[in-house]
Structure 1
Amino acid sequence: MTNAQQRAEHFTQALRAAGVRITRQRAALLDVLAEAEDHPDAVELHRRSKDRAPGISLSTVYRTLTALEEQGVIQRHQFEGASARFEHADGEHHDHMIDVETGDVIEFCSDRIERLQAEIAREMGYDIVHHRMELYVRRRSNGKA
């Protein structure tokens, strides 16, 4: 069984636990979401799902995403100036850079940033319980990374 298949099965079980019926349209959406390696919004997930289940409605997509989020198996990201985007919650912690010109979302991990955040919280008398970091970026005009 592939990672995407395992993820789709995990999503299916989460919906069943929430009392949501797994229709053909929902099953198609779960497959599409499980296969997504990007951060699609609901409209994009609807577009992708329609290829597999032509009768799927946008409201079904929204209701299913809400139920999956409530079950903790997907994460909703509300990046500044854009519609909510979604990703599966089974990966390692990572942060995001959002290209303000293209809307591309780039995942990154930095041990240095994680250590610095913990150090700052500790100095102020706190422990980090949860955090998200979003950097809004623009590619340099000289093209150098």
Structure 2
Amino acid sequence: MESEELKRAGLKVTAPRVKILNMLEASEHRHLTAEEVYRMMHESGEDIALATVYRVLAQFETAGLVARHHFESGQSMYELEQGTHHDHILCVKCGKVDEFVDETIENLQREIAERAGYQMTDHALYIHGICSDCQKKG
């Protein structure tokens, strides 16, 4: 399956690309930094350089396999491109990232663009706050 995804994206099937794609698909976390991918690869016994992880993630982004986000942490985070739009809410204490879709917000963003004379081509919404777990911790 991963080989076909890489071929469809116009990428040559290589061991590092397949391994990283497998890792992204198997991860319980949808949003990962390159360093987290690197650490998870090493924890699973894979011998791969951090520079290779960065290079492959950049190739995946260019090919449309992953989306890169620049959240509050200052680090780029990557998630598999699912083909459907969603927005993000981020905890400023623990770094947790949740996704949501809200049609009212989507419609309002289109209306705002139209009122300003824009034809919207893309958009991103990031809400920052403190998650319920961190609120409980005080």
Shorter chain as denominator, the TM-score bin is 0.7 to 0.9
Structure 2 counterpart of 1:72, from 48, 64, 85 = 64
Distance across 1 between alignment mates of 2:130 and 2:34: 25
Give the C-alpha shift of residue 116 in structure 1: 0.7
Alpha carbons of structure 1 residues 42 and 10: separation in structure 2 relative to 1, 3 Å: farther
**2:23 aligned residue:** 32
CA distance in 2, matches of 1:46, 1:11: 21
Secondary structure in 2 matching 1:62: helix
* Distance 1:142-1:34 versus aligned 2 partners, 3 A rule: closer
Q: In the alignment, is the contact (CA less than 8 A) between 1:14 and 1:73 conserved in 2?
A: no
The structural deviation recorded for 1:68 is 0.6
Which of these residues, 98, 101, 109, is aligned with residue 106 of structure 1? 98
* Structure 1 residues 72 and 22: alpha-carbon distance in aligned structure 2, compared to 1, 3 A threshold: same
Aligned pairs, number:
134
Structure 1 residue 122: Cα displacement:
1.3
Deviations 1:75-111 (A, max 9, x none): 0111123311100112411000110011000101111
Q: Give the TM-score normalised by the residue count of structure 1.
A: 0.80
> TM-score when scaled to structure 2?
0.84
In the other structure, the counterpart of 1:42 is 34
Q: Does 1:87 align with 2:76?
A: no
Query: d(CA) in 2 for partners of 1:84 and 1:72?
Result: 16
Q: Is the 8 A contact 2:68 2:77 kept in 1?
A: yes
**How big is each residue's C-alpha offset from its partner over 1:50-79, in whole Å with a ceiling of 9 and x where there is no partner?**
244431111111110011111111101111
Instruction: Pick from 3, 7, 10 the counterpart of residue 13 of structure 1.
Output: 7
Q: Distance in 2 between matches of 1:89 and 1:26?
A: 15
% identical equivalent positions:
31
Residue identity opposite 1:69 in structure 2: E
